[in-house]
Amino acid sequence: MQSEEDWDDGDDWDDDDYDDSDTSSILDMDLDTKLKLAGVVGVVLLILMSSMIFTNFGFYSGAGTISVLIDVEEALNPEDRTLGAHILATSPSFGSLSKEGEFTISVAGSQVYSGTFDLNDDGRGSISLDYAEFFTVNGEYTLSVDIKGTKDSDSVELYKSAGSVRGEVPVFDGNYPLSKSENLLINLQFKTDETTSYVSPWVQGTIKIYHAEEIFDDGQGESYWNEDGNRNFKEVETITFNVAGTSINWEYQSGTTDNGVSLWLDPSEFYSDEESGDYAVTIEFTNQLGDDTSIKEGQTFWKWFHICQTKADGSCDGNN
């Protein structure tokens, strides 16, 4: 058995072979340096702790995510004159959810409105704004929302400004005259300059009714009824009207008023003075929404139609 004296691994330990400079470097620093290092570490710790404290107690606020949705029927309901949108936001990872945000509305790259919105404790909010507050031209409107840098947007196409009008007289086709005992239906059809579709605008205007003393001739076609020709006519009635989406109200010179979803003219308001003959209707209007407030003009189609007292077979009973 080998004794301790015989144990020899051939290596002698030398103090020079052990270098403790790495472990003792901090200990070997002078007091001034240690204090500076401790100060830096303390500041870092303070910042971290303050951030955690401020976060927990809501001193830092914002939003983690935000989404905005314009009402899905916004452009489909012709009676709707209010832009409605719903907002949903979530809290940021570190911090509390802000209770207020900002929004802008733009069209064709130009901002036309800005405002603020509020959120409840669940992060839900809404925007409700009358078109008159922001509508300028027909086109695609973009609603952008922002909560301290967290953003979202949604868009909708709005066509609320009309460029032309035509008054459709569906019951007159030139084969038979119209009866003075029945109200005259005129469907006002508005179109925009940007599309070929009919729109439901907000407008106000004037309707003028003209009379020409003519005998009904069922042998005439569109070219006769849609042109003034040799008629000697004069104005017999002026009617003012307002259209709000699909609703209309109007007032005769006599002061009588009426309303509905279509324009039904009472012949007794304009027929008694001149009696039977050819009648025409012209229309002028201005838009109540948007920047285009110029006067637009239109007429009935066909422009002229015949009204008289009719007999059982639909023909005119003399010149009554």
The string of DSSP codes covering 96-142 is EE-SEEEEEEEETTEEEEEEEEE--TTSEEEEEEEGGGT--SSEEEE
**Domain 164-308 part of CATH 1.10.10:** no
Residue 156, pLDDT above cutoff 70: yes
pTM value?
0.78
Least confident of 15-19, 150-154, 276-280, 297-301: 15-19
> According to CATH, what is the number of the domain 63-158?
2.60.40.1930
- The pLDDT value recorded for residue 93 is 87
Region 78-82: mean pLDDT is 90
Q: What share of the chain is helix, strand, coil (3-state, %, to 5)?
A: 15, 45, 45
Mean pLDDT (whole number) for 221-239: 95
Q: Where do the CATH 2.60.40.1930 domains begin and end in the chain?
A: 63-158
Locate 92 and state its tokens.
């940021």
Is 124 a residue whose pLDDT tops 50?
yes
The pLDDT of residue 27 is 56
User: CB neighbours (10 Å) of residue 248?
Assistant: 18
Residue 172 tokens, joined:
């007159």
Mean per-residue pLDDT over the chain, rounded: 87
